[in-house]
Structure formats: C-alpha cells, structure tokens
Amino acid sequence: MTLTCSVDPSSFGWKYYWYRDEKTSEPLNTQDAVSQSTGQISVSQRGLYWCRGGRGDPVYYTEYSDSITINKYVSSRAVVTLQPNWPKIYSGEAITLRCDIKDEGDTKWEYEWKTPRSIKPQTQNEYRISYASSVHSGDYKCLGRMKSEQSSTEWSDAFKLTVLYAPESVLTVSPSWLSPGDSVTLSCKVEHPSAGWRFYWYKTVPKLSDNSYSDELLPGSTNGTEQDSYIVHGSTHTARYMCRAGRGDPVFYTHYSEPEFVWSGDVHSAVTLKVSPDRVQHFIYDSVSLSCEGNSTEWRVRRFPEDLDWSYCSNWRSMTGSTCNINSSQQSDAVYWCESGSGEFSNAVNITIQSMFTLHFISFSSCI
C-alpha cells in the first residue's frame, strides 16, 4: 500500500517525514531523496501512520497530519512449506507442514489451515501429521490472523501433498559366485530415489524350526549408512543378504529387499554338501542323493531358483536325516546347498540336468 503526504498549499522545498504508532517516535527510516521529495512511501505493516513536512535549516516543521490506520498486512502473504523437505512422502512417515509469514514486526499470530478434509483454526504455525496415509493427500493452505484483531494475511498458495505407498528396496550383489580372496559388494536401490535415505544391511541366518530366517545387521549399519553400497571383505562362505532404507525421526523404513545369495563352492566350510554320484551334471531319470555333513543334528536342503513351495527337499522328495534323495526327472537346473540347525550354510553346488535324447543324438553324430 502506498501512502502520500503533501503540504497545502504546495510550494517548493518541502521534505516529508513519516511516523508509525506514536508521533513522538523517530521518523521511519525511509528518508531517501525520492520519498522525501515525492512524499510517498510503501507500507506493509499494520498500525497508525502520520506524516509532516519540513524545510529549511534549522528545519521548520508543519503540524502532524491526521492519522491513517492500516488494519491489514496488505503485502504479507503466508507460505506453506514441508518439513522435512523431501520430494516424495510415503505412507507411514511423520511430517510437518509449516505456515511461514514474512513479518518484520513482532506481531502475535494465530493460524488457520485449509486441509483436504476441513478448515482448522489453531494457534501454532505447524500442522503435524504423525502417520501419513492416502487420506492426507491433497492441497493445504494457511493464513495468519493477528490476535484480538480482525486483520489477517491472504491465504497462501496451495501446497499439494501426495502420499505414496511405501517403496521397495532392490538389492544386487557382486560377484554372485565367490573366488578365493573375493570381497562382496552389496548395492541397495530405492524404487523412488529421494533425499534423506540411509541404508541398512542384513545377513540372514537359517531357522529350521519354522523354515524361515532371522536377520542380523551387518557391522557398521546399526544407524544406517549414507552410501547405498556396502562391501563385505574376506567373504568365503555361502551367505544370504537383504537390505532396506530408512529416514526421519522416528525412522520410517522401506520394505525389505528380496534376498540375494552369494554362492561359495568351498567344501572346507563347517557344513558341507556332498552329491552322489559325485558330479554336477546328471541325466534325466538319474537318482541323486544330496547329503549334509557337519556338526549338527538338524538339516534342510534348499535349491535356487525357488519354485513356489518347492524350494525345500521335504516338499519335492524325501528327506531322511541329513540326506535328500531326488529323481532328476522331476528337477531342473538349480543351485543346491545345506542349512544346519546351528544357523550355517554349506558350500553350494550348481547341478544341471541333461536330456537323454541329447546324449543319444550326440552319440549318433559321432559315428557318422
């Protein structure tokens, strides 16, 4: 808003002085050459304003003008911001919408919010959502209202909040088959990359009691890592890993990644898988025995890739003690390994199934 001060009758040489709230206060700090000569100033704060003219040296002053009351912060406008300021928000996160008003004075404000579901007066400039969900998606606006006054700011521009479902984490491992002295690199990617993520790394341990696994955080990842990769040094045994990402306080976590295996053919581990007949290529209709050896009384034999419920020996063939007896006619190429009741993995063996037809064809060709 622009205020104009003039002397009547007008004449040459006047400068103009502005006051707010009290006539006895110091003139407002707007006495540049333009405002003094034109008698115009722009104001944005509420209050009583006076002016008077002055000229000469020493200065001769006119009487004070009548006061004018500014009831509204005409140029003030509320702005909605998001804290934390992440580009994507997910279901389950705790967030805060903040109403900021640019105000050079010490005005005491009350606030009003327009949310996707209601209009809510409140005294604080923060609108907190402790557990975001899809019902919170939509436009948010706010305004500031001076306490005990009718004056207020304009409504802010709409802040559009979109709450997405919790993202997936995707784990990759390299290498997948270990050679002596290898280090394993784990990489964890979030489905919708955005700021603030920390990454948590897990090694899983077999639980034979319920055909499941328990998760153990890898060293150094209790509070997550800033990097989306993790190196396991000196890995020698078959292992199963998972990851997930988290951010905020309290921490919001993504879903766990699908597990990934790192295979080792080391037969000197505490648990050993023995194949009989002792070869990795078998022919259809062969009978194959997979035996688990080591310091344990409980065993299970597993294979990868999994085929729904057919990943455990007891699902597809008979498991007697530590030996799994299978018929190759019901199998496909897969990696096999043992898991013990003490939570250890054996070496892994990649077994392929060869068709008898292919064998006969090769034999026939060699006779020509």
d(C-alpha 253, C-alpha 234), whole Å = 29
Q: Residues 251, 336: one domain?
A: no
pLDDT tens digit sequence for 2-14: 888 888 877 778 8
In this model, does residue 33 exceed pLDDT 90? no
Taking alpha carbons only, the member of 155, 159, 112, 110 closest to residue 136 is 159
Comparison of pLDDT for 146 and 217, the residue scoring more: 217
Cα–chain-centroid distance for residue 286?
51
DSSP for residue 356: H
pLDDT of residue 68 exceeding 60? yes
Structural domain includes residue 134: yes
Asked if residue 218 has pLDDT above 90, the reply is: yes
R_g (Cα) of the chain, nearest Å = 38
Query: Could you report the per-residue pLDDT of 133-179, keeping only the tens digit for each?
Result: 999 999 999 988 877 666 678 889 999 999 999 899 999 999 999 98
Q: What is the predicted pLDDT for the residue at 361?
A: 41
Are 90 and 61 contained in the same domain? no
Domain finish residue from 70, 95, 127: 70
Assigned token pair, 26: 């110091």
Q: What pLDDT is recorded for position 232? A: 95
Per-residue confidence (pLDDT) for residue 73, from 0 to 100: 52
Confirm whether 204 is domain-assigned.
yes
279 shares its domain with 310: yes
Range of the domain at 193: 169-262
In a domain? residue 348: yes
Q: How far is residue 205's CA from residue 60's CA, in Å, rounded to a whole number?
A: 92
Give a yes or no: residue 51 inside a domain: yes
pLDDT at 191 over 90: no
Confidence of residue 198 (pLDDT cuts 50, 70, 90): very high
Say yes or no to pLDDT of 39 above 90. no
| Pair type for strands 109-114 and 138-146 | antiparallel
pLDDT, residue 25, reads: 73
pLDDT at 272: 93
Whether residue 27 sits in one domain with residue 101: no
142 and 218 co-located in one domain: no
Q: Is residue 283 part of a domain?
A: yes
User: At which of 164, 179, 195 does a domain end?
Assistant: 164
Q: Are residues 348 and 276 in the same domain?
A: yes
365 found inside a domain: no
Quick one: 298 and 315 in the same domain? Answer: yes
Given pLDDT bands bounded at 50, 70 and 90, which one contains residue 74?
very low
157 and 82 part of one domain: yes
The predicted structure's pLDDT at residue 365: 38
Instruction: Say which residue the tokens 């923060």 belong to.
Output: 126
**Mean per-residue pLDDT over the chain, rounded:** 83
pLDDT, residue 224, reads 96
pLDDT at 367: 38
Question: Quick one: 256 and 276 in the same domain?
Answer: no
Let me know whether 199 and 234 are in one domain: yes
Residue 323 sits in a domain whose CATH number is 2.60.40.10
Q: Is position 368 within any domain?
A: no
Q: What is the mean pLDDT of residues 25-51?
A: 72
Instruction: Tell me, yes or no, whether 99 and 84 share the same domain.
Output: yes
Judge whether 267 lies within some domain.
no
Distances (CA, A) of 201 to 151, 167, 173, 218: 54, 17, 12, 6
Query: Do 103 and 151 fall within a single domain?
Result: yes
> Using one digit for the tens of pLDDT, what is the confidence trace for 283-334?
666 778 889 998 888 888 888 886 544 567 766 566 777 888 876 555 668 8
Residue with tokens 């306080």: 249
Confidence check: pLDDT of 46 > 80: no
Last residue of one domain, picked from the residues 164, 190, 213: 164
* Confidence (pLDDT) at 360: 44
Question: What is the total count of domains within the chain?
Answer: 4
d(CA 352, CA 12): 105
